[in-house]
Amino acid sequence: LGEFCDAKSPEFKFKQLYRDFNNKWQSVHGWFLLRDGNTDDIESNLNSFHIPLSDEDDEFKRSLLLLSKLLNDRLDNNNIKKHISRQLNDEEKKFGSIKLLNIYLEENNIDTEFTEVLENIQLLRSKGVAHAEQSGYREALKTILGEKTRIQLITNMLLTINNFLRC
């Protein structure tokens, strides 16, 4: 939209941190957390992402969808599984990437608030963003929002994401 972005804003910090994250993670942990993707798509999604300017549901859903594409969809399930040091039980072997990442973070004494945010993004996406809005979307949104606005929720999510992306 040609608007200037405050260098201290969570949105601007997210875009900065995101671009360097995978290499920083690899230098600290020895492996890449995010799968490679189409660089143009990733850059387009990153540039398109913004904190909603209004509390409208469409703008909120668009922000959630982009966060999901940039984070949830790129988690490298196989790499995460490979780097969990303990033996996974039969149920855990079926876990998706977010729950597996949570196990890895717990094993390595890393705060798991990031995976909570990813779970909320995934829940809202599955209930109302990526699919025809299911009946559980409104209830899930109400539970996750609490007393916050959609704008506040996205901003809070970004603050948590940014803390994690700092490695």
Between 7 and 81, where is the model more confident? Answer: 81
pLDDT-based confidence at residue 136 (cuts at 50, 70, 90): confident
Helices 113-124 and 57-70, axial angle in degrees (round to 10): 120
Q: Which two tokens stand for residue 79?
A: 């790499």
Asked whether the beta carbons of 83 and 107 are under 8 A apart, the reply is no
3-state SS, 94-110, equals CCCHHHHHHHHHHHCCC
Contacts made by residues 96-100, CB under 8 angstroms, sequence distance 24+? 97/72, 98/72, 98/122
pLDDT attached to residue 56? 94
Q: Per-residue pLDDT for 133 more than 70?
A: no
Residue 132 has pLDDT above 80, yes or no: no
Read off the pLDDT of each residue in 147-164 and give the average, rounded to a whole number.
97
